[in-house]
Amino acid sequence: MSTTTVDDHHDEHPGFFKRWITTTNHKDIGTLYLLFSLLMFFVGGAMAMVIRAELYVPGLQWVEPGFFNSMTTMHALIMIFGAVMPAFTGLANWLIPMMVGGCDMALPRLNNWSFWILPFAFTMLLSTLFMPGGGPAGGWTLYPPLVLQTGNAFPFVIFSIHLMGISSIMGSINVVATILNMRAPGMTLLKMPLFVWTWLITAYLLIATMPVLAGAVTMLLTDKYFATSFFSAAGGGDPVMFQHIFWFFGHPEVYILILPAFGIVSHIIPTFARKPLFGYSSMVYATASIAFLSFIVWAHHMFTVGMPLVGELFFMFSTMLIAVPTGVKVFNWIATMWRGSMTFETPMLFAVGFVIMFTLGGFSGLMLAIAPADFQYHDTYFVVAHFHYVLVPGAVFAIMAAAYFWLPKWTGHMYNETLGKTHFWLSTLFVNLTFFPMHFVGLAGMPRRIPDYSLQFTEFNTMASIGSFGFGLTQLLFAFIVIQTIRGGKKATDQVWEGAEGLEWTLPSPPPAHTFDVPPVIK
């Protein structure tokens, strides 16, 4: 668009339909993604509440075992594809153009489409719960032959996964095109803010792995309905091969869920430590190394399938190698805080909480990487504790940190600091009460995805259930704070935070619909 018409746009007042349904504005699409993610966070959270209510005491009290299994399956699918990934895409939409000094995303119409696919995908996925035979109940990993026993829901689950995949691939192509082509003059690759860097790498991971998942689920579909035998031993196939294909997608996927979080934390810690990020280029290279390594470690999810010793050793050592670049990042964050003039506003609390609790999840990951030990931990609550530590006080805390950090920029209002801090401390208390005891029951042998358990696990499970109810209720406070901030509050300044640096903080709060129509000059 030509720069002479810029002022006309600022006076536009599109109606509701044009503003939200047919919008091509990166800020509005970002908002849609974030609100959708918040909604899915509560839907997936409600399913977690069903799981924890059933596990409060041993025995079967609230739900049928089949429904319990579809709760665990749907909880995972919704939290991964509906809550965490759209939240990161929403942040990417809002922030990447403002951070690189571009006027919008590179492909605005595609952007609208990749968002609006999601409500349809998740409506379809959720509708499977009401179908004959119930929703998918074989776990989010969809292992055959178990998953092939799903009833009428099966093709709907597969197609909703296809839609989610199409949405993320289009979103990622958009992110790559934006970062590579829309940067302001002078914004060289190694001057880009870390959130942009981590998203660039995440986008490539998505483009490379989501199609593999699409292929794997398509094979499941043809195995069930079109007499192929990819995973059926009777026809010369092999169910273990599904696990290889799935985890070839699945392991990079877990880094898709955490790399943007690394980017977010790398913005927040320097701001509130009032020091530049320690080791910027090592952060970039560490992110790239993690992304590369993520492609060669997948079989550590399947140590117990009967791999030869050489395979076990290869996947064990390559997995442990990932601790090196991850350690570089953790030490860089700590070094950034070292002797900084630190203050602890809510975003910083969440970021510091992230560093500590994510590292804890990383340590249990290292324990799981040890092949001989993994034979004991495999498919127990220890695994559940591990990945919830990296995903809840890891990815989810980082998303909340980002929400508190940039909400004043987006809305022009400061959130209520007291409520924000209350939200952080209650969340931290309850998240640990929920997931820490799971380490113990896991080490003692409690298997995952089972609606009942032996008596000796009762106390720890009751603790975990109480923690999860507390955590769930606390998140209502988060929704309240967000809505309150959108509706009003103390005016935010343009820079918002004293130590904030970056192009987005040079814009007014809230930014007008169109920003950087004239690219800024980067020194």
Partner 1 sequence: MSDKKTTTVLRSSFIALAMFGFGYLMVPIYDVFCDLTGLNGSTEIVSTKQDVDFAPDLTRTVKVQFVANLNNSMNWTFQPDTFEMEVHPGQRIVTNYTAINHRPDAVIGQAIPSVMPSVASRHFHKVECFCFTNQTFDAKEERQMPVVFVVDPALPDKVEVITLSYTFFDVTETASTTPFNLEVPAGG
Catalytic residue numbers read 75, 104, 140, 167-168, 251, 253, 255, 266, 300-301, 326, 329, 448
Give the whole-angstrom CA distance, residue 89 versus residue 29: 10
In this structure, the number of other CB atoms found within 10 A of the CB of residue 53 comes to 15
Q: Is the Cβ of residue 230 or residue 460 nearer to partner 1 in the bound state?
A: 230
With CB under 8 A as the contact rule, which of the stretches 167-175, 269-277, 373-381, 470-478 interacts with partner 1?
Answer: 167-175
Q: Is 208 in the site for partner 1 (CB under 8 A)?
A: yes
Q: Is 463 in the site for partner 1 (CB under 8 A)?
A: no
Among 80, 245, 352, 360, binds partner 1 (CB under 8 A): 245
Q: What b/e readout covers 184-193, taking b as 16+ CB neighbours within 10 angstroms?
A: beebeeeebb
Q: Is 379 in the site for partner 1 (CB under 8 A)?
A: no
Among 132, 227, 281, 418, binds partner 1 (CB under 8 A): 227
DSSP state of 497: S
With CB under 8 A as the contact rule, which of the stretches 212-220, 267-275, 472-480, 494-502 interacts with partner 1?
Answer: 212-220
With CB under 8 A as the contact rule, which of the stretches 222-230, 284-292, 459-467, 484-492 interacts with partner 1?
Answer: 222-230
Q: Is 185 in the site for partner 1 (CB under 8 A)?
A: no
Q: Is the Cβ of residue 229 or residue 458 nearer to partner 1 in the bound state?
A: 229
Q: Is the Cβ of residue 51 or residue 212 nearer to partner 1 in the bound state?
A: 212
Q: Is 214 in the site for partner 1 (CB under 8 A)?
A: yes
Give the whole-angstrom CA distance, residue 34 versus residue 482: 11
With CB under 8 A as the contact rule, which of the stretches 76-84, 232-240, 259-267, 388-396 interacts with partner 1?
Answer: 232-240
Q: Is the Cβ of residue 241 or residue 444 nearer to partner 1 in the bound state?
A: 241
CB-based contacts of 188, cutoff 8 Å, min separation 6: none
Among 207, 296, 429, 450, binds partner 1 (CB under 8 A): 207
CB-based contacts of 496, cutoff 8 Å, min separation 6: 408, 409, 414, 505, 509
Contact yes or no for 261/394 (Cβ under 8 A): yes
Q: Is the Cβ of residue 235 or residue 508 nearer to partner 1 in the bound state?
A: 235
Among 33, 248, 354, 377, binds partner 1 (CB under 8 A): 248
Q: Is 236 in the site for partner 1 (CB under 8 A)?
A: yes
Contact yes or no for 257/85 (Cβ under 8 A): yes
Shortest distance, position 248 Cβ to partner 1, whole Å? 7
Q: Is the Cβ of residue 173 or residue 419 nearer to partner 1 in the bound state?
A: 173
Angle of the 346-369 helix axis to the 323-337 helix axis, nearest 10: 150
Among 32, 210, 316, 385, binds partner 1 (CB under 8 A): 210
Among 3, 61, 127, 181, binds partner 1 (CB under 8 A): 181
What distances in angstroms separate CA 436 from CA 302, 323, 412, 460, one per listed residue? Answer: 24, 21, 38, 9
Contact yes or no for 272/343 (Cβ under 8 A): yes
Residue 41: enclosing H or E segment and its boundaries? helix 26-54
Amino acid at 17: F
Among 77, 158, 164, 212, binds partner 1 (CB under 8 A): 212
Q: Is 240 in the site for partner 1 (CB under 8 A)?
A: yes
Nearest to 114 by CA among 174, 161, 158: 174
Span 135-154, contacts to partner 1 by CB under 8 A: none
Structure tokens at 520: 């800024």
Q: Helical H runs in 370-416?
A: 371-377, 381-390, 397-411
Structure tokens at 235: 């026809």
Q: Is 247 in the site for partner 1 (CB under 8 A)?
A: no
Give the whole-angstrom CA distance, residue 184 versus residue 378: 49
Number of residues that bind partner 1 (CB under 8 A): 38
Contact yes or no for 506/174 (Cβ under 8 A): no
Q: Is the Cβ of residue 190 or residue 227 nearer to partner 1 in the bound state?
A: 227
Shortest distance, position 294 Cβ to partner 1, whole Å? 14
Contact yes or no for 508/27 (Cβ under 8 A): no
Give the whole-angstrom CA distance, residue 160 versus residue 152: 14
Span 290-309, contacts to partner 1 by CB under 8 A: 306-308
Nearest to 348 by CA among 410, 397, 414, 282: 397
Among 21, 46, 180, 518, binds partner 1 (CB under 8 A): 180
With CB under 8 A as the contact rule, which of the stretches 20-28, 69-77, 89-97, 210-218 interacts with partner 1?
Answer: 210-218
Which residues are 413's β-sheet partners? 491
Q: What is the CA radius of gyration of the chain?
A: 23
Shortest distance, position 173 Cβ to partner 1, whole Å? 4
Among 209, 336, 411, 427, binds partner 1 (CB under 8 A): 209
Span 186-205, contacts to partner 1 by CB under 8 A: 204
Shortest distance, position 316 Cβ to partner 1, whole Å? 17
With CB under 8 A as the contact rule, which of the stretches 11-19, 209-217, 367-375, 449-457 interacts with partner 1?
Answer: 209-217
Give the whole-angstrom CA distance, residue 363 versus residue 282: 21
With CB under 8 A as the contact rule, which of the stretches 122-130, 168-176, 429-437, 464-472 interacts with partner 1?
Answer: 168-176
HSE of 487, CA atoms in CB hemisphere, 13 A: 7
Task: Count helices and strands (H / E) in the chain.
Answer: 19, 0
Residues that bind partner 1 (CB under 8 A): 106-107, 169, 172-173, 176-177, 180-181, 204, 207-216, 219, 227, 229-230, 232-236, 238, 240-241, 244-245, 248, 306-308
